[in-house]
Chains A and B, each alone.
Chain A
Amino acid sequence: MFSADYIKDMDKILSKYDQKRAALLPLLHYVQGKEGKITPEAEKNLAEYLSEPVVHIHEVVCFYHLYHQEKQGKCHLSVCQTTACALRGAEDLIGYIEQKLNLKPGEVTADGKFSLDVVECLGACEIAPMLQYNNVEYKGFLDKKKIDEIIEKHK
């Protein structure tokens, strides 16, 4: 089971929803925020907590892009490859990151410092090409220099 301080926070999330299962997405965000990934153990605990079958939790974890079952790098890069970014050179930049970090999309560097994801539109086409790092900050009008800076900062 989850520890008591988890449960305290989770009860607070649950109270916002009119049906228990509806709290699943925010609860997964919460657990992932704490543990860095969604483990089979966490799925089992969430299933108990929500009185749902584990499969309902697992299929949601698999369906949504933002939940991951493996830990990301300390600095996670999500680079957009959709039309507006592609028109402004995203492909070259993705290649540059791959080469610089010796990393393919979906992989984490051996030292655990960086991971790379190539993603579809993040809703920031006005600053294309762009990436999101550490799942929060958007960095736009991306070029090799800016990529170097991000990587240098998180080395």
Chain B
Amino acid sequence: MEKITSRHFGIPNSHLLETYRKDGGYEAARKALTTMTPAAVIEEVKKSNLRGLGGAGFPTGMKWSFIPANNPKPKYLVINGDEGEPGTFKDKYIFEQDPHSLLEGIIITCYAIGSHKCYVYIRGEYIKSINAVQAAIDEAKKANFLGKGIMGTNFDLEVVVHQGAGAYICGEETALLESLEGKKGFPRLKPPFPAVVGVFGCPTVINNVETIACVGPIIAKGAEWFAKLGSEKNGGNRLFCISGHVNKPGVYELPNGTTLRELIYDHAGGIPNGRKLKAVIPGGISAPLLTPDQIDVKMDFDSLKAIGSMAGSGGIIVMDDTTDMVWAAMVAARFFAHESCGQCSPCREGSGWVYRQVKRFYDGHAKPHDLKNLPGIINNIGGNTICAFGDATTMSIGSYVSKFRQEFEAKIKNDNFVPTA
């Protein structure tokens, strides 16, 4: 299988410009800047069926075309590298092992949308990634791939690395914009969408790291080639991250049509110690759990949506048959309670409430009415908040309760425990 975004992983010194140029690095950017119009670039990306790989799966070319052509304000490209969705670690590999593929994608994207400034927002803990991308920017500047008059054209572009500061919510695109403006990461109401009012009130495109790393290869090899690799309406491959109870956790670039079963058993080496699969999170912690009877699903956005889950960020977490699902629900609920930004009451209060309720089950203090109340508490978060974090809490924790209800029931005891504070 032909690799795209992971094509340089594992090659010695893959992060250096010299290595990147060996197999045609920056030639796609040259092609776009010297032989194509911005409209033609957007058209090519539309035809490739590239979809946002941060989790939402929105068609990338269409997103770019929402930038208003006659707006006099400067336009911005913002790269979302605030990789924080539990189970996801792919962008780190691109940052550290192939930063120039990201930069080349940035050049082409900025040219397409008419932007001369790009901020790369990288999560604050990824110090190595931040250093790697900064070093790549410095190299690219020296070689005139960034800066003034790129490659002899009259196109200027400045790329700035912005270090986050440890808040999961900043992966939400409008929270990220707030954070980039030096504020608390509170998501914004939409509309207006960032394409019209983004960072500093200017038209802004926000794309995930992996999405932008696909742009160079699309321009180099053509939209048809890319579209053919994927499934219908979902071009290209995907970097799947697999972790938890598997023999070979890691990043695997595979076609979107790969099934979850193949991923777990063929690529990740199956489950250790001959144990059996109990549950699997298919797309980051926000994605509803799947049970063993559902793992023949294809891992593209539409197929996972059809069975009530989501492809999300491509982070797969596998749980074997020794896993206490009430405990696993508690761990996930603790995450949501910790990371709720606190802006909307249903989420701020609800996420903590859900965590305390699930913990009560785990601690063995739950009573029969608690199981009756729990779905109501969970379901009153989603749909009642500004951003999708509330929906994620509802969908994720809701799936533990609905699919493993018997485990919650088994923990109910009629003791006289009275919860405090």
Q: What residues make up the interface of A, taking CB atoms closer than 8 Å to B?
A: 16-19, 21-26, 28-29, 50, 56, 59-60, 63-67, 78, 81-84, 86-88, 119-128, 132, 135-136
B185 interface residue per 8 A CB criterion: yes
In the bound complex, residues from chain A placing their C-beta under 8 Å from that of B167 are 63-65
Q: How many residue pairs between the two chains, A and B, have CB atoms under 8 Å in the bound complex?
A: 140
What separation, in Å, do the CA atoms of A25 and B332 have in the docked complex?
Answer: 28
B243 touches A132 (CB 8 A): no
Which of B88, B164, B338 contacts A120, CB < 8 Å? B338
- Residue contacts A-B, CB under 8 angstroms, 11 given: A22-B200, A24-B182, A29-B163, A83-B86, A121-B86, A121-B335, A123-B91, A124-B92, A126-B242, A126-B250, A136-B127
A87-B328, A135-B127 given. 19 additional CB < 8 A pairs? A24-B182, A26-B162, A50-B182, A63-B184, A64-B167, A81-B331, A83-B331, A83-B335, A84-B86, A84-B317, A88-B244, A120-B339, A123-B83, A123-B125, A124-B92, A125-B86, A125-B243, A125-B315, A128-B244
What separation, in Å, do the CA atoms of A60 and B181 have in the docked complex?
Answer: 11
Q: What residues make up the interface of B, taking CB atoms closer than 8 Å to A?
A: 74, 83-89, 91-92, 117, 123-128, 160, 162-168, 179-185, 200, 241-245, 249-251, 281, 285, 315, 317, 319, 323, 328, 331-332, 334-335, 338-339, 341
In the bound complex, residues from chain B placing their C-beta under 8 Å from that of A136 are 127-128
Question: Across the two chains, which residue of chain A brings its CB closest to B82?
Answer: A123
B339 touches A28 (CB 8 A): no
In the bound complex, residues from chain B placing their C-beta under 8 Å from that of A87 are 244-245, 317, 319, 323, 328
Question: Across the two chains, which residue of chain B brings its CB closest to A124?
Answer: B89
What separation, in Å, do the CA atoms of A54 and B182 have in the docked complex?
Answer: 13
B125 touches A122 (CB 8 A): yes
Q: How far is the CB of A81 from chain B (nearest CB, A)?
A: 7
Q: How far is the CB of B188 from chain A (nearest CB, A)?
A: 15
Instruction: Please indicate which of the listed interface residues A50, A86, A88 has the most CB atoms of chain B within 10 Å of its own CB.
Output: A86
A120 touches B200 (CB 8 A): no
In the bound complex, residues from chain A placing their C-beta under 8 Å from that of B249 are 84, 125-128
